Chains A and B, each alone.
Chain A
Amino acid sequence: MSQAVEMRGISKQFGRVQALDNVGLTVESGSIHGVVGENGAGKSTLMKVLYGAYQADSGEVRVNGKAVNIRSSKEAIALGIGMVSQHYGIVPELTLLDNLILGAEPSVVLDKGKIRERASKIAASIGLDYGPEIWDRDASAMSASEAQRLEILKLLWREAKIMILDEPTAMLSPKDGEALFGSLRALTKEGATVLLVTHRLPEIMEYCDRVTVLRGGKWIADVPVSEANPEMLSELIVGRTLTASERPKPIAPTPPVLEVKSLSAARDRGTDAVQKASFELSPGELVGIAGVDGSGQAELFRALLGVTPIREGEMLWHGKAISNEPTEKRIELGWRILPEDRLQEAIISDWSLIENSTLGLHRLPEFSDGGKVRVPERAAFAHKAAEKFGTKHGGLETSIGGLSGGNQQRFVAARMTESGPKLFLAFQPSRGLDIAATEDLYAAMQERCREGAAGLVVSFDLDELMAHCHRVLVMFSGRVVVPPADANRDTLGRLMVGGEA
């Protein structure tokens, strides 16, 4: 068996971050090869190097035995390498057929009849019966799995022999996932090679021939799946804690203040980003949500705050239904949020620190008096918020956009903790912060909890959550998993990648 792809000694640095450090990858032709790791492991980066989107700082790449230097996606395609990304590159107002050929049209004048013929033949090769009516359908109405399949057909149209799929089952139901892999198997039988980038253990165990594990930008292991088991793999993926760090003890259960029941939200192409989430928060608890990025955490927060409507399920606050209340009402009740996208959702960059300090809080009695802005109180709060975590700034009247990301984060985090929260939702609170600031922030959050608040923290860093939270939930593929009470790091790590508890 020849090797379709061989990568050796690949390193790539972005600024101060070493995304890849001397990584190697060997893929046999005609196989389905998994590339697995959690956030920041480097798997997407490695594939982008192969696909020509990035240039490696060092190392070499061989395709079908020949050394190559891939500088663009065009060159990659010419070598027969194609990639299907998570965010489908499908143009909504075109038909399926148009989307198929966009960018790879056979000629200037398009003979749609002949194109349809070839397209149907290609579809048939992976077991799809696509007649002309299907090809002329509007692409905007496609379901996630149909879009996925079209992406693969696009690769086949371009005669790709080596196909990279990045998290292909992210938005697919289990049944659709199975169908997808059926198609992939059919392709490998014809000689194609599939590189599967994923963090999902079940897929690897079920469908891959070999798997390469990356962690923190480094190569960890390369094993045939037949010789692997889930426990061993998840350990390799998530790693072991080197030191036993002190964990906050779970608090004694008290009646919950927040009850989330079977909440589904954020439907996109037929699948919900949040699926039947159920969990409870009690006052005094700081609860973490672990999980790989893209498992639905951001959508969950948006649904909780009321920015995105809920499709089904309900939320209770102190026993009363709250799903239909507007965001403003929840803020009034004491809810605070540190959103996922700071620039887009948390601040107004052109505005001053003072003006930003009460964004979201501006209607509270502390800051407004019968429709009037309480200017001195707002200025005092801005001062407090800036002091709390040591935000470095050039004056409270200057625009927040001029601050560095880390300083913006400090300010916005303080806005959340210093505004008397009863419930706070923090998304990746430590992003951009050094260790000292992170500790300060978690200390503040814990103090709020001791005073009776409840907190929900999303982080992609499992260790951070384990060190600071009373409890850790896991989110995987849109579902919230409540781990057993005695779950240790290995268990949580397994749950994060879709394994069993």
Chain B
Amino acid sequence: MKQVVLIIACVVAFIGMLVLGGISPVEAAQTLFTGSLGSPRAISGSLKETTPLLLAGLGVFFALRAGLFNIGIEGQFLLGGFASALVALAVPGPAGLLLAMVAGIAAGALWALPAGWIRAYRNGHEVITTIMLNSVAVALTDFLVAGPARAANQTGATTATIPTSGRLPALLNSPPWNVSSGLLLGLILCGVMAWWMKRRVAGYELQAVGANPSAAEFAGINVRKVRLNAMLISGAIGGLGGAIQTLAFEGRFYQGFSPGYGFDSLGVALLAGSNALLVVPMSLLFGVLSKGGTSLLILGVPKGLTNLVAGLVILISATIRYRRQAQDA
């Protein structure tokens, strides 16, 4: 119910901004719709935008259930995308594909490790550490891809392109339809996560830590370990998202690989609340907005508008749900 209210608020805010900018809302709505859902190509494009948001959203969601804000999903995503590109280029074929995914997952987890450890064992707020590490991730990958990892025959800052044999196959590839199996992976992961949260003892403990760390301690739960593991898994999922982005869509890693999926995925996770399955529709919503937003550029509507609306939605969503979280145990 609350989600509906939020979506309405979102739409109202959007319209408001358009009017302020002197754009006809009706025209904008039409363009938005046709741009994102009006044709097989548009829908494919929306789904393509949705996939990284789905995965990053799942990563943030996981940490959020444990009471942690993994803003660092952006950096984990980048490192996952980069590592998987390197491995896929080094090891050709399906074997390389598999290894590349593993590399992406590992890279993401590794990048989440410092923040996770600092929060679990030093009680340093993970928000700050992950924001810092995001910047380092951007700097690191930018440097590597402009120099040592740069493709030999390219002038731009990018790796070589991975041949199709080493990439994630399409799920549906009859033009104009083009849906990647990466999306399917994301949907499966979502289902697994929902099941894990409800049916596994570890999921029970994770959510207990997020809901009431004191009670969790009295229940014999090792709060520190749970927090560290939550960050690691969250980072791993972020890394997987980056790997899928490389292996399914981009085929390479380059400067500017991620247009800031990080913040949007925070919105996705917050809107999903306590239900993992809701991450799918929420990421779809953001994906549609993003794809539609691109077409709105033609109308003169700046890209920043979706950012703005996302921010408003999150702020309003937080009023309803996320009351002050004091740092405990």
Contacts and interface: CB of A to CB of B under 8 A. Distances in A.
Interface string B196-232: 0011111011001001101101111110000000000
A372 interface: yes
Interface in A329-388: 329-331, 337, 339, 341, 344-351, 355, 359-360, 362-363, 368, 371-373, 375
Interface string B308-323: 0000000000000000
For B198, B202, B219, the residue with the greatest tally of chain A CB atoms inside 10 Å of its CB is B219
Nearest to B205: A362
A348 B219 CA distance: 11
Contact of A344 (B198, B200, B214, B220): B214
Given A372-B200, A372-B201, A328 B222 contact: yes
Given A344-B215, A345-B215, A350-B211, A326 B199 contact: no
B214 A345 contact: yes
A121 B220 CA distance: 53
B201 A328 contact: no
Contacts of A375: 199
A403 to B, nearest CB: 16
A473 interface: no
Contact of B217 (A327, A329, A349): A327
A327 B218 contact: yes
A305 interface: yes
A344 B204 contact: no
Nearest to B202: A371
B220 A328 contact: yes
A305 B217 CA distance: 10
B192 to A, nearest CB: 14
B120 to A, nearest CB: 15
A360 B208 CA distance: 10
For B198, B202, B204, the residue with the greatest tally of chain A CB atoms inside 10 Å of its CB is B204
Interface in B170-205: 198-202, 204-205
B222 A351 contact: no
Main DSSP-derived SS at the B contact region = helix
A373 B221 contact: no
A360 B212 contact: no
A141 interface: no
A296 B212 CA distance: 24
A371 B220 CA distance: 15
A251 interface: no
B215 A347 contact: yes
Nearest to A327: B220
A169 to B, nearest CB: 29
Nearest to B213: A344
A376 to B, nearest CB: 12
Contacts of A362: 201, 204-205, 219
Contacts of B217: 307, 327, 345
A307 B218 contact: yes
Given A307-B218, A327-B217, A362-B205, A351 B199 contact: no
Interface string A89-124: 000000000000000000000000000000000000
B204 to A, nearest CB: 6
Given A362-B205, A372-B200, A373-B204, A330 B215 contact: no
A348 B215 contact: yes
A442 to B, nearest CB: 23
Contacts of A339: 218
Contact of A326 (B200, B208, B218, B220): B220
Interface string A305-341: 1010000000000000000001111110000010101
7 contacts: A307-B218, A327-B220, A337-B218, A341-B214, A348-B211, A360-B219, A362-B219
Interface of A: 305, 307, 326-331, 337, 339, 341, 344-351, 355, 359-360, 362-363, 368, 371-373, 375
Given A339-B218, A359-B215, 20 more contacts: A326-B220, A327-B218, A327-B219, A328-B220, A328-B221, A330-B220, A344-B215, A345-B214, A345-B217, A346-B215, A351-B211, A355-B204, A360-B220, A362-B201, A362-B219, A371-B200, A372-B201, A373-B198, A373-B204, A375-B199
Q: Which 9 A-B pairs have the closest CB atoms?
A: A328-B220, A360-B219, A327-B220, A331-B220, A348-B211, A348-B212, A368-B201, A345-B218, A359-B219
